[in-house]
Amino acid sequence: MSQNTHYEDFFRAAFDRVSDQQFRPFGYQTKLASDAWPDLLEVPTGMGKTAAVVLAWLWKRGWRQSERAQMPDQQTPCRLVYCLPMRVLVEQTHRNVEGWLKNLGICGEPGQGKVSVHLLMGGSEDVAQATWAEHPEEDMILIGTQDMLLSAALNRAYATYPSQWPVQFGLLNVDTFWVMDEVQLMGPGRTTSVQLQHFFEQLGACPRQHKEIPLGRRTLWMSATLGQTGPAMPDWTATPEVKETNRTFARYSPQRNELDATRLDAPKSLQNKPNWTYESDDLHHTIIDEACQSDDRLVLVFVNTVRRARELHQKLEDKIKQSSCAAAKKPELILIHSRFRKEDRDALTAKLNQSSGRRIVVSTQVLEAGVDLDADVLFTEIAPWASLIQRFGRLNRRGIKPSIGNVQQKLKIPALAVVFGIPHREVIQGRSRTPVRQDEVAPYEEDAIANARRFIDDIVNNHKGSVSPATLQRVPAPLVLEGPILREFILTGDLFPTDADLSGGHTDVAHYLRALDRDVDCHVLWRELPGGKNQNALPPDEQPPIHRDELCPVPFFEAKEAFNGKRVWILAYSLEGRRRTATWRETRASDIKSGDTVMVPLEYGCYSDQSGWLGKDDKPDRWISVGQDAEGRAARGWKDSQGGFTVIDYHVDPERGFGGDPRSTWKRRQRDWMTLGDHLQKAQSASQGLVNALNLKGSTAAAVIEADLWHDLGKALERQKNGAWEPIFQNMLIDQGMSYPPHPQKGVLYAKSKPKPGGSGSGDKNTSHDEDRFRHEVASALAYLMHANKTAASDPLKTSLTAYLILAHHGKVRCMPAPWDEERSDDWNGVRPGDRIVPFQIPQTSLQWTTQGALDLSLFLPAPNRPGWQGRVALLLEHYGPFYLAYLEALVRVADWRAS
């Protein structure tokens, strides 16, 4: 039996059509599974790009039905990162991928040795479930928008706590296969993805490093319109750093067999109505008339902005109400755009997936690409040609309504696609102050709209108005390089460090993700807060955790305007005492930036469950709150304006003051007392297992293992107070821990305590006495450096790497240890001159700490025979590059999680 036949069986199984021998993959889908990966893939709309890539990736990773039956292809990394331009595409792709995995019998959760699939979206996940980051050695599929994924790949993950940024930064840039789908919609994100792949290939060029970390990164860019106009690569693949490339381009030209031709030649006819706008009565009447042509008819209407979508929806709603036809004959009207909470948008999506009825769907770009809609009639505002191609792909998608045969026999006319114009506005120009009419091209550029008009004329004049996929393949759609260029010094100098500036903020990456005049989002959630009607409402820092279903993406400048002059709460770092913890920071709306998570009181409104973000008036009918289930247990759920409460889960604690890691907080509450020796042994064992599974070699692997062995030694720190030595961290663990035989035992050093009911037992504050707090990882790193200085044969690079991984294992101190005491500058994150670590040894390990003297704080400073801390970090960045260094940092943290 041939390899192709095996893959056909695998493909059928994924779609649960094993017995259907007529169902088989297209030729290019089979080639992707058998040939080397291309870098760019162009496929007409409706030809199964997502299934092609995902199933080929599974096949090359060795997965077959129910199990992994082959060794993975070494050129196919273990994490498939599927990046999409819009959130609605993410949810659909997730459903499809999860269905394929379940049909194949290989879908699992992290830690089960199967393939897990994850949505990377704003808001909290189920903290009781293992996250994708906890198992970097396993195959998994990560699906998200370019905002979420690229911000994480730039070490600024949106809607994620800063201490977690380096983990995602490392794990999303090493051992990953990025798929950039629908690149024509990505703008600056497309450019950033080119630069990230280039930097990995350049900054990962050290031969020693490649030998010790045999893990790669690759990117596949794909679309129906990649923009190639000749034999050269598309213009957007070249940046100042990437002037020439050896990348491979695969363009799928379907064979005219029976399976392909139905979609390829789907009858679609273009009508150009440049004088109509979304305000035109002729447009409104035509849309409604088309919807009423039969009992089962889907009319899809695209406009370019949320504001115009809302206004058009309202005009159509008014005209439908005034219509004289019977209520049963009136079409259902649906509005969908990107400015909805997920909970509300899911309800709308359910309507979109209905199989019958008269429906008019008014939408923005969110339904433009990748969504499996099959409309009978399409109306669209003029947009860039690449966007129009995607919109035409939602019309008669399967080629069966009407079919080619019905059209050829003149039983039916082709499916109708109407392109209408955009409104004008009058602006004052020149010294004459004469009003000039200008097109409202936003959110696009004037050149892009002008080019689209030329392509429309070409279709009408030279292709008889046909917009079938076969015709559109013959019309070039060039894409250009967009947005600012990410530079290497920005990546390593500004983005690799995660220290907050004096205002508590960080380097903004929004302009590397999307055009600044388009989708630059913050995420708004509405809560019941003190000062409103409910006087017993919880204050911000006592609110239950964020749930991703309540977050509404809003352009940050619109949020600033809507809430102008009002106080809001932004999820940020607390600056109190220079000890950075996540908190809700009260501020004015003028401080809102892209990427922020913003909580506002219900009374501020600006949102409707039915219409989404409004920017004024109205307010949500439902919001997340704490309530009780039927048995009286505290629960997190949806509360409504009528007093109802729907339970979601039982995560009711804020989970922020403990360092911004809800999963770790949840695990703390499940754990028992753990001695320091046991924890360090388990961490060493976990890291040994990780480096073996990932095939890490040499001094790099040794540094990861040694870092986990030493990472918590600082918990044995002693400080002299009132003439006596006090074990500061140990006192905190005992103070916060729950006593029961045999714990706590006198003279035993602990790493973890069993939290008292209602307490955290986290150890984040280090002590109940605020003046004694310190970062234990700083003490651990100093101890290790003192130990390494005693070893004459020590490798300077390995020593620096081990010390860095120890210091960075919580993500709170990485590139710049800093004084905490405002009155004195000789401490390092709370570790003070004179502090010492008690003698400590773990049997059968290399950890033997016998030093009686004080920790040498000067080891962080430069000296004639050694670099300072910043010099060590610079050396590591030069050798490993930012991606591999953060990846190793993530491995140490994962091993620590597993040992906790």
pLDDT of residue 241: 84
pLDDT of residue 563: 95
Is the pLDDT at 786 greater than 60? The verdict is: yes
- Min mean pLDDT across 40-54, 306-320, 837-851 is at 837-851
pLDDT of residue 169: 96
**Selection from 490-499, 586-595, 678-687 with the highest mean pLDDT:** 678-687
What is the tens place of the pLDDT at every residue in 90-130?
888 999 999 999 999 999 999 999 999 998 865 545 444 56
How far is residue 597 CA from its own chain's centroid?
14
Q: Are 149 and 172 in contact (CB under 8 A)?
A: yes
Q: Which residue has the higher pLDDT, 403 or 831?
A: 831
How far is residue 364 CA from its own chain's centroid?
22
Of the pLDDT bands very low, low, confident and very high (cuts 50, 70, 90), residue 525 is very high
This model's pTM is above 0.75? yes
Residue 642, Cβ density class (10 Å: 0-12 exposed, 13-18 middle, ≥19 buried): exposed
pLDDT of residue 197: 94
| CB neighbour list of residue 705: distance below 8 Å, 6 or more residues apart | 684, 687, 688, 691
Of the pLDDT bands very low, low, confident and very high (cuts 50, 70, 90), residue 317 is very high
pLDDT of residue 46: 73
Is the pLDDT at 732 greater than 80? The verdict is: yes
Q: Using CA atoms in the order 109, 78, 153, 92, what is the torsion angle rounded to 10 degrees?
A: -60
Of the pLDDT bands very low, low, confident and very high (cuts 50, 70, 90), residue 576 is low
Q: Using CA atoms in the order 597, 600, 606, 612, what is the torsion angle rounded to 10 degrees?
A: 50
What is the tens place of the pLDDT at every residue in 442-476?
788 888 899 899 999 999 999 999 998 888 877 77
- For β-strands 552-555 and 567-574, DSSP reports them as unpaired
Is the pLDDT at 32 greater than 90? The verdict is: yes
pLDDT of residue 762: 45
What is the tens place of the pLDDT at every residue in 799-848?
999 999 999 999 999 998 888 876 667 789 999 999 999 998 887 777 88
pLDDT of residue 62: 96
pLDDT of residue 260: 59
Q: Which residue has the higher pLDDT, 258 or 434?
A: 434
- Residue 559, CB-side half-sphere exposure with 13 Å CA sphere: 31
| Alpha helices by DSSP H, 231-358 | 258-264, 281-291, 306-322, 342-352
pLDDT of residue 842: 80
pLDDT of residue 822: 67
Which one-letter DSSP state was computed for residue 859? G
Is the pLDDT at 764 greater than 50? The verdict is: no
340-364 as b/e: b if 16+ CB within 10 A: bbbbbbeebbeebeeeeebbbbbbb
Of the pLDDT bands very low, low, confident and very high (cuts 50, 70, 90), residue 230 is low
Return the structure tokens found at 400: 């069966």
Is the pLDDT at 736 greater than 50? The verdict is: yes
Q: What percent of the chain has pLDDT over 90?
A: 52
Is the pLDDT at 256 greater than 80? The verdict is: no
Is the pLDDT at 761 greater than 90? The verdict is: no
pLDDT of residue 658: 39
pLDDT of residue 448: 85
| Alpha helices by DSSP H, 697-837 | 698-710, 728-736, 776-789, 796-807
Is the pLDDT at 407 greater than 70? The verdict is: yes
Is the pLDDT at 330 greater than 80? The verdict is: yes
| Alpha helices by DSSP H, 48-121 | 49-60, 87-104
